[in-house]
Each structure stands twice: as structure tokens, then as C-alpha cells.
Structure 1
């Protein structure tokens, strides 16, 4: 473990070392170093980034005991000793989040016996999966409060290497996943856990811990939360959003819920009014069409009307007791649509009628004997389609 400098000092960001090897693997360059402070992906913690001799380190992985530093371009061939820099902002963020996970998981277990079975550290938030079916809100609040008590206590965080027999003397929160090179991360009198990640020196450096929410996931409860600088960042984002919404609503933050509820109610009222007006217009349009003096058929060609509007208009006309067949055509861009309807006492099969005319416009449709609809290409004018349909009726 001597070549893993991040275990000696998690705060080390600048170091010099020798290059052992540089290789191209499937189009990706990587180097191995005599020793390194770059943490590789593992144990739920993402890898470090930074630079080696000014060349960007974009990924770090441990493969068969070898730590590979993937770089965006190869190092100069003559370079033997290199100056390396770890991105401290990214490293410290991971340290805060990882220690926060230990603290929150231990708080859930201490208070309620809720065991953490998995952990994920993401770019924006992190999650733990608790081995429970349901998380009461008051339990989440209590665990969050307990976790922040531990943070405010500024308890030291210790890391020590032990063998299996030595590890058995500690009240470990979870079963060890390794049998040798065992590293324990300890918050005395609170949490004892096998872990290979990087952590701050004391709990105060973790910063505040805030639970954002939780949901059921595969018979477990997934808790989403943030720690440290991420809390401040999210607080600023939410503050900016509230300030913007407050300006748009012309209401202070404490009155925003009432203002939004009022807007929702007004919107629903406007929607209802619009529906009522649309219905009135539809009734008027139906009455106007029914005044047509053609004794055999009621037909009309419209511009830019949807199929739904045609159907509703045809149904309204039929429901008003219209005895004549109703044929409504709409010309929409490069498409023709047709609705054929009849009253209860009509004998004409509208589905069969539609099937006779749609091939002319390479169309498709369907329906019932008393009400059918379909559409196709605008290969002929709408008036011609209406005339053809009337002709097929043989009336």
C-alpha cells in the first residue's frame, strides 16, 4: 500500500514521481506511476482527476493491482520524472460525501436498526439503499438530526490497517468484503466500518448533511441526500429559483403557495369557460349546417380542422335528430380527412361507404355502420372528395 499516497495523506494534491509505463489500450492512453495520490474508482467513490506533467488525467482505475492513470494525450516519451496535481475541489467533495454517507448510515442504524445495503456517489447527489420496506418521515428527520449532531461534534475520523483477527474486535457496521489489507474508517463511539475511500480528518469537515427525499426501490428504500459544499450549492440554486418565482408571482416567498393555488383555480375556471364557449360555438355551427336546404345529404368542406373536431361536430348534428347523411371533409396541409355519419333511423352503411372512397386518396380508416372516419393524401381537392362520396351513396 506504500505507493498509494492517498492512504498516507488524503489532503496531498501535489507530488512528483517516476513513470513506470505508458501504454495505448483500445485508443486510450494510460500511465502507471511509481507512487500516486490519484484515487481510483472503487468502493462507491468516483476517481480523482487532475494532471500529470500538464496532461489531463480523465480517469483512474485499478486493474489487477495496477493503478492506471488515463490521460487525454500521451506524455512526451523522454519524460521519466513527472509533476502531478490532483483536482482538490473534486477530491474534497468526494471526501465530504463519503464521510457523510458513513455518518448518515450509522445514524439510521443506531436509531432504528436500518441497515445500509448499497451506496452510490453521484455528480449532484448521493444515495443509500436501506434494507426496509418503508421509511417514516419522522425517522428520516431524526436520522438527519443525529447525523448533523455528529458533524457538529467535530469528532475525529481515524483510518487504520488491521488484520482479520484485529478487525473482529471492533463493532463493525457491516461485514467485511476482504480478508487481508483491511482498512477501517472509525468515528469513535459511533461508527466502525471497513472502507477504502478517502475521508476528512474530522466530522466537522463533512459539513451539513441534508436528506432530499426517498423512494421505494426493489423492496428497499433509496434515500437521496447531499453533504458539505453541495448543500450550500443547492441552497443557492433554490434561493435563486424562489427569488425569480417571487418576482413573477409578485408575492413574497411565504405567500407563494397561496398565489400559485389561486392561479391554478383561475386557470381551471378559464378552461371551463373556454370549454363552455367552444360548446356554444359548436352548437351554433351545427345549427347553421343543418339549415342547408339540400334534401338528400348534409356535406361541408373545412380548412384546417382536426379529426376530433370533425367527429364532434358530426356527432352533435346527428344527436340533434338530423336524418340526412352527414359528410364532413377537412383539408389539412397535405392531408384529407373525412367523417361519415347518420342518425339511428338511417340505412346507409357509413363504414362501407368510407371504404369505397378512401382508396382514391390512398387512405385508411374505420368505424361503425352509423359512424366512420378516415384520411389520406390530399391528391384531389376536398370538394372532389365530398362529391365522390355523395356519388357513391347513390342518392
Structure 2
């Protein structure tokens, strides 16, 4: 490799000087190679650094044919000296996320033997895919253990063991590795082969918050945050909880029980409302006793209510029940049915002449249409025996 990797020598470097070795124009932009760089190229599950060279934005940093290429919109001249500046907020955030993930994965591996089989460092959430199942209690225990470790402020150890040493070191790795291997050790928590960037002391992670752990394939997918992201998440959650407490007139520690009481009340009210609606459907159906084909138009209802009301009418009339609910401005939902009958042709005509859409089974169909109440009534006046 032509480029000296300053990011491995000093992970906290923010500004550097370098000489441009080459600049090649490609479809994505100009591929620039420097004699040394502090820009970390994407790898090891960690996104590339962001920043500028000579004040111009670096679009991406990638390993290309074994070289570190800085991809930019504007070219740089080979041989010129340039100044690069790292977007430190972005860099340090990724260092916190990556370091937190190491400790979580390492402790889970040590206690349960599960492997980290997938890892994604997004701009909002970090996900870890593990090869085994974890209960809520186990996740909470791991989270507490991880944070206890962080606050002990252990120094991180990064080293390159030779082939003989590698055979004696029980490090984590997703695949068999050859050549130069970089090991990242959080003493007492994790030892893993990794090319990414990490904090030098565990306390710089700040804290870790595990957001969820859900079944995924043969194991679980865990969502987590570290450092500033975790703090911002907890701050927003606390603010939202405070607002909920004010609205429910309870203390902040009582919002869970208060929300449950509110949900129970809503559930009961929905039940009472459903019972009242069912009575209304039965009253409508009772008005159709002894009738043959029935046309009824009501105020707006939900599709399931339209179906239930029409079904009730079919128990009392002897022919076709055509039920519409809505208004002239927004249109109407409909249900048309006939016990042991076939309403497909009628539904087809309704859709064609009243600008409707819908269908179903031969004896029952549902849909919606854009027409006025008067147009619906005129349409059915042409039909025989509709009351």
C-alpha cells in the first residue's frame, strides 16, 4: 500500500498534511491517492470517514485495488501538498458505536457462546444479528454488565499477533483470516479481529442502550445505541414521557400504569360502541322484514360496518340488499348481497354507471363509488322491485 494510515497511528487525529500521489478521473468522480491519510476507508462494518481535502468535500473513501482512494468531485494535482480535515463528530460517533458493539457482542459470546453473524452500523441505529435466542431478562443483564464495564474505563489494546501467537489467542472472527491480522481487545470483555476504529479507553463510549431484541432467523436481531446517540435517545424519551405525564396528570414514573388504564377505558368504550352499532344494524334490518329487494343509504360507516349491516339486512329481506354509506362529497362505500343468489351482474352495472370499484363472491360484494345520493336512487329506480 502506498498510503500511510494515520488513522491507525492516532485515532484522534483530525487534521493532516499529505502529498497527492495520483488523481484518476472515473465515473463516480476523481479517485485520489495520498502518501498518507487520516481518512478511514469503509471496512469492517464501519462507514468511511467524512471531511474535506483543501476545503473540498470528500464524497467517499474506499479500498480500490489495495489502495486507499479518496473520491472527490474536483481533481487534485499529483505532487501538490494538501491539507485534509476529518469530520470529527462523525468519526467519534462511529468509534463509540463500533466500540459499544464489540463489548456487547463479546460479553454475549462469553456468557452464551453466541456468534455475531451480522452487524450493520446505520446513521440512526446499530443492529447486531446473533446466532442464539435471548430473553428480555438476559438482554437487561447484558446491558447492565456492559455499562458497568464501560465505567471501569479499561484501556483498549490493539495489536498485530504473528502466526504463532494467533494459534494461542482465542479471538472472535466471522471467518478464517490469513495475512496481517489486527486484534482489538477490550480486556475482560472482548477480543476480536477488526479493522475498524475504536476509542482508546472504554469510558469514552459513555453508555450503551439496547433498544430491542427480536427473533431473527435462528437467533435474534438486536438494536442498540452507544455514546451520544444513546444519550440523545434517552433524553428524547424522557421528554416525551414528561409530556405524556402532564397530559395524563400523573407523575412521570406512573405513565405506564396511567396509559394502561386509558387503554382499558378505550377498549371498554369500543365494546360499548360496537354493541350500540350492532343494535342500530338490527333496527335497520328489522325495518326490512317482509320486503324483497332493498335499497338503503346511510351516513358514513367503516367498510366492516357496511358489511355487518348488509349481512343483518339479508337475514330479514327475501331478495337483494343494496346498502350504501357515505356522502355526496366523499363518495359512498357499498355492499350488495343476496342469500343463495348471484349479484355479480348488478355489481358490474353499479361500478360502470356510478363510477365504482369493487367485487367479491357471487352472493356478496363490497366496494366504493363516486356518485351522489340522487344518482344512486335513480339507478335503482330503474330496477324492478327495489324498495
TM range (shorter): 0.7 to 0.9
Q: Residues 352-383 of structure 1, C-alpha deviation per residue, up to 9 Å, x if partnerless?
A: 873796597387756556x6777878599333
Q: In 1, distance between residues paired with 2:247 and 2:166?
A: 59
Could you say which residue in structure 2 is the equivalent of 1:319?
Answer: 315
> In the TM superposition, what is the alpha-carbon distance from 1:313 to its structure 2 partner?
4.2
Matches within 5 A, 1:180-329: 180-188=179-187, 190-290=189-289, 297=292, 299-300=294-295, 302=297, 312-320=308-316, 322=317, 325-328=319-322
Greater Cα shift, 247-256 or 332-341: 332-341
Could you say which residue in structure 2 is the equivalent of 1:354?
Answer: 346
Q: In 1, distance between residues paired with 2:174 and 2:369?
A: 67
> In the TM superposition, what is the alpha-carbon distance from 1:311 to its structure 2 partner?
5.0
> In the TM superposition, what is the alpha-carbon distance from 1:37 to its structure 2 partner?
0.4
Q: Residue 213 of structure 1 aligns to a residue in which SS?
A: strand
Q: Residues 243-287 of structure 1, C-alpha deviation per residue, up to 9 Å, x if partnerless?
A: 121122222122212221221122122222222332333333344
Greater Cα shift, 160-169 or 256-265: 160-169
Could you say which residue in structure 1 is the equivalent of 2:27?
Answer: 26
Greater Cα shift, 171-180 or 51-60: 171-180
> In the TM superposition, what is the alpha-carbon distance from 1:40 to its structure 2 partner?
0.5
Greater Cα shift, 232-241 or 377-386: 377-386
Q: Residue 61 of structure 1 aligns to a residue in which SS?
A: strand
Q: In 1, distance between residues paired with 2:139 and 2:204?
A: 22
Q: Residues 119-145 of structure 1, C-alpha deviation per residue, up to 9 Å, x if partnerless?
A: 32222232333332x213443334333
> In the TM superposition, what is the alpha-carbon distance from 1:15 to its structure 2 partner?
0.6
Q: Residues 205-244 of structure 1, C-alpha deviation per residue, up to 9 Å, x if partnerless?
A: 2222232221222212233222222221111111111112
Q: Give RMSD over aligned pairs.
A: 3.6
Q: Residue 98 of structure 1 aligns to a residue in which SS?
A: helix
**Unaligned stretches of 5+ in structure 1?**
none
Could you say which residue in structure 2 is the equivalent of 1:59?
Answer: 60
Q: In 1, distance between residues paired with 2:291 and 2:203?
A: 88
Could you say which residue in structure 1 is the equivalent of 2:165?
Answer: 166
Could you say which residue in structure 1 is the equivalent of 2:43?
Answer: 42
Q: In 1, distance between residues paired with 2:258 and 2:111?
A: 40
Q: Are 2:285 and 2:315, in contact at CA under 8 Å, matched by a contact in 1?
A: no
Could you say which residue in structure 2 is the equivalent of 1:179?
Answer: 178
Q: 1:178 to 1:263 in 2, by over 3 A?
A: same
Flag the structure with larger Rg.
1
Q: 1:114 to 1:318 in 2, by over 3 A?
A: closer
Q: In 2, distance between residues paired with 1:67 and 1:121?
A: 21
Q: In 2, distance between residues paired with 1:144 and 1:338?
A: 54
Q: In 2, distance between residues paired with 1:63 and 1:91?
A: 21
Greater Cα shift, 6-15 or 190-199: 190-199
Q: 1:313 to 1:20 in 2, by over 3 A?
A: same
Q: Residue 384 of structure 2 aligns to a residue in which SS?
A: helix
Equivalent in 381, 386, 390 of residue 384 of structure 2: 390
Q: Are 2:21 and 2:78, in contact at CA under 8 Å, matched by a contact in 1?
A: no
TM-score of the superposed pair, with normalisation by structure 1: 0.81
Q: In 2, distance between residues paired with 1:382 and 1:83?
A: 75
TM-score of the superposed pair, with normalisation by structure 2: 0.82
The yes-or-no answer on 1:126 pairing with 2:126 is yes
Q: In 2, distance between residues paired with 1:299 and 1:44?
A: 66
Q: Are 2:152 and 2:203, in contact at CA under 8 Å, matched by a contact in 1?
A: yes
Q: 1:65 to 1:266 in 2, by over 3 A?
A: same
> In the TM superposition, what is the alpha-carbon distance from 1:64 to its structure 2 partner?
1.2
Q: In 2, distance between residues paired with 1:176 and 1:341?
A: 65
> In the TM superposition, what is the alpha-carbon distance from 1:117 to its structure 2 partner?
3.2
The yes-or-no answer on 1:149 pairing with 2:141 is no
Q: Are 1:157 and 1:188, in contact at CA under 8 Å, matched by a contact in 2?
A: yes
Q: Are 1:31 and 1:70, in contact at CA under 8 Å, matched by a contact in 2?
A: yes
Q: Are 1:111 and 1:143, in contact at CA under 8 Å, matched by a contact in 2?
A: no
Q: 1:350 to 1:310 in 2, by over 3 A?
A: farther
Could you say which residue in structure 2 is the equivalent of 1:81?
Answer: 81
Q: In 1, distance between residues paired with 2:382 and 2:68?
A: 78
